[in-house]
Amino acid sequence: MTDNCIFCKIANGEIPSATLYEDDDFKVILDVSPAAKGHMLILPRQHYADIMAMPEELTAKAFVLAKKMAAKLEKVLECDGINLVQNNHEAAGQTVFHFHIHVIPRYAKDKLGIGWKPGKLSDADRDELVEKFKTIV
């Protein structure tokens, strides 16, 4: 547990939260400022700032849990779709620096702005990236 981390305090019960599921490793809570009704957060009980800091086994468990919660959310809300969102570092929109996965229900005609303007993959970028990834373990 890390001092002054709001999600450490929530994940370990020091601050109360609307909890949908919990086990030894995780707490799943409702987001206090939801993008849509049912927006939930998967929080590991242990503090890891982002996905790069997470042990692989716990990361795998977090995404399996997100899949299970998404399936339940679909049944509870009868929504049309689900986004899993996981932000790392400020530039990517991370505001709480304790790893979490957002599970967000979607509806056919909702106006949620989760997306981007599609670009065009240039031949130079394609060749550069394919080569560089061969050299990184």
For ligand 5GP, the binding residues (CB under 6 A) are: 6, 10, 17, 29, 31-33, 41, 87, 93-96
Active-site residue, from 39, 47, 98, 100: 100
47 binds, among ligand 5GP, Zn ion, none (CB under 5 to 8 A by kind): Zn ion
**CA geometry: angle 82, 83, 86, nearest 5 deg:** 145
CB closer to ligand 5GP, 4 vs 135: 4
Strands of the sheet with 81-85, listed across from one edge? 19-22, 26-30, 40-44, 101-106, 81-85
Looking at residues 91 to 110 of the shown chain, list those that interact with Zn ion (rule: CB under 5 A).
98
Question: What are the φ and ψ backbone dihedral angles of 85, each rounded to 5 degrees?
Answer: -125, 135
From 80, 61, 81, select the one nearest 21 (Cα to Cα). Answer: 61
What number of helices (H) and strands (E) belong to the chain?
3, 5
Task: Mark 21-50 with x for binding to Zn ion (rule: CB under 5 A) and - for no binding.
Answer: --------------------------x---
Name the residue with the smallest CB distance to Zn ion.
Answer: 5
Binding of residue 13 to Zn ion (CB under 5 A): no
40 with 28: CB under 8 angstroms? Answer: yes
Among 5, 36, 51, 58, binds Zn ion (CB under 5 A): 5
R_g of the chain computed on alpha carbons: 17
Q: Which are the catalytic amino acids?
A: 100
What residues make contact with Zn ion under the rule CB under 5 A? 2, 5, 7-8, 47, 98
